[in-house]
């Protein structure tokens, strides 16, 4: 895996789509997220499904996975995002997930800050994401990071749930 950026005590490394299954143990540890978002635990092949769940019109290499590792190499987080989507210079952050044991320690903020710098360095000028309507903590987190509401989307079927999502954006000046 190739180095992408440093975020505090975590290192972000590119994960080739063909090796996405290395993220499966993390997804299984994050059952709270899966229950909240999908109404069920992670599926046995959830990690392998991430690359195949991207929009079909993407060019090769436009989607990317990053593993967030501790100094000992443990995967404690991940990012899944799309470069130049839906337009050139715009990046879509699909998943930022941290394991329960590393949440609430400022790591999320460090990862977002480092990721924004990474996106800027690669020519990104806007970062977009979507937050579940009922996830008030995520709304507060992203608002504190400077993201602004764009529009409501849904309801969308996600797993066993119908979710409305708030699309949010941040200009990366």
| Best CA proximity match to 148, nearest among 132, 171, 125, 165 | 171
Reported confidence tier of residue 60, pLDDT bands at 50, 70, 90 = confident
Where does residue 146 fall: left (phi above 0), alpha (psi -120 to 50 degrees), or beta otherwise? left
Q: What is the pLDDT of residues 5-15, one digit of tens each?
A: 999 999 999 99
Task: Give all domains of the chain, ordered by start, each with its CATH number.
Answer: 3-171 (3.40.630.30)
| Best CA proximity match to 20, nearest among 94, 84, 88, 103 | 94
CA 125 vs CA 7, 104, 112, 160, 171: distances in Å? 20, 28, 15, 35, 6
The whole-number pLDDT of residue 1 equals: 57
Pairing status of strand 3-7 against strand 10-15: antiparallel
The whole-number pLDDT of residue 140 equals: 95
**How crowded is the C-beta side of 164, counted as CA atoms within 13 Å?**
7
Structure tokens at 73: 């190499």
Tokens 């590119």: give the residue: 14
DSSP assignment, residue 42? P
Reported confidence tier of residue 173, pLDDT bands at 50, 70, 90 = confident
- List all residues 6 or more positions away from 118 whose beta carbon is below 8 Å from its beta carbon: 4, 5, 12
Rounded to whole angstroms, how far apart are CA atoms 61 and 71?
Answer: 27
Rounded to whole angstroms, how far apart are CA atoms 131 and 124?
Answer: 21
Reported confidence tier of residue 40, pLDDT bands at 50, 70, 90 = very high
Looking at every residue in the chain, the average pLDDT score rounds to 93
Rounded to whole angstroms, how far apart are CA atoms 79 and 6?
Answer: 13
C-alpha Rg value of the chain to the nearest Å:
15
Helix (H/G/I), strand (E/B), else coil: 129: strand
pLDDT over 60 at 120, yes or no: yes
């Amino acid at each position: 895996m190739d180095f992408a950026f440093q975020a505090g005590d975590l290192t972000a490394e590119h994960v080739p789509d063909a090796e996405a299954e290395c993220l499966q143990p993390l997804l299984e540890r994050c059952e709270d997220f899966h229950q909240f978002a999908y109404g069920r635990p992670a599926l046995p092949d959830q990690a392998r499904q991430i690359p195949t769940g991207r929009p079909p019109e993407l060019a090769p290499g436009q989607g990317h996975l990053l593993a967030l590792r501790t100094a000992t190499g443990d995967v404690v987080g991940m990012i899944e995002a799309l470069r130049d989507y839906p337009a050139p210079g715009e990046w879509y952050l699909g998943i930022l997930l941290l394991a329960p044991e590393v949440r609430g320690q400022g790591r999320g903020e460090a990862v977002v800050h480092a990721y924004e710098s990474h996106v800027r360095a690669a020519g990104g000028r806007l970062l977009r994401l979507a937050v579940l309507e009922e996830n008030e903590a995520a709304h507060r987190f992203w608002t504190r990071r400077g993201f602004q509401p764009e529009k409501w989307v849904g309801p969308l079927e996600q797993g066993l749930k119908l979710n409305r999502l708030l699309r949010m954006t941040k200009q990366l000046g």
